[in-house]
A and B are shown apart, each in its own frame.
Chain A
């Protein structure tokens, strides 16, 4: 059974850093494009970052470029999101998600982890 379990969220001051983890089971992260999606309180979904298979090309939404880094650890079967220079507007629930076989959709999602950026 496919499962994605996020962790690493919490309260951080503006300018601080956090690393989110997404431990996968039931599939291999290296063989599947994956991504992070966030949802600010009371707002809609916002795609944040994605990583492809193979060489692992990475992509970001403009507002996080240069501050966030997506990566994966294949032996640990884990996806990460390193978040630096955090801002109040980064406050959100962060979800990891995997592409379905054949692509073009996120078929499994984690339960989400809350990141709160506040002084």
Chain B
């Protein structure tokens, strides 16, 4: 199975900060990586797919990059509504695995 390691697992930041979250895969997964945002008590929301494609309706301050084994999610200017937990997920092969999550909290 493909393991996804996210870092950091916890991040404290201020409104307006640039934030970067990393997801590393245990083997090459081409660009078959998605990013989700989850707020407490809610279902995950798709942000980015195939590593860098922004899902419709998602603000342009979110961006993704990477291929192979290393990927990043960047929030260019953190907004109050962005405080949440973020997960990566690989779609290279089954079982489709998730990273452990990165919780972004207000500094």
Q: How close is A89's CB to chain B, nearest CB, in angstroms?
A: 17
How many angstroms from the CA of A59 to the CA of B87 in the assembled complex? 21
A100-114 interface bits toward B, Cβ cutoff 8 Å, 1 = contact, 0 = none: 100111110111100
* A107 & B46 in contact (Cβ 8 Å cutoff): yes
Instruction: Check if B81 is an interface residue, CB within 8 A of chain A.
Output: no
Task: Name A's interface SS.
Answer: strand
Given contacts A44-B101, A60-B95, contact A105 B43 (CB under 8 A): no
* A111 & B43 in contact (Cβ 8 Å cutoff): yes
Task: Name B's interface SS.
Answer: loop
Closest to A100 in B: B49
* B44 & A45 in contact (Cβ 8 Å cutoff): yes
A residues with CB within 8 A of B? 35, 37, 44-47, 50, 59-62, 95, 100, 103-107, 109-112
B residues with CB within 8 A of A? 1, 32, 34, 36, 38, 43-46, 49-50, 55, 85, 87, 89, 91, 94-101
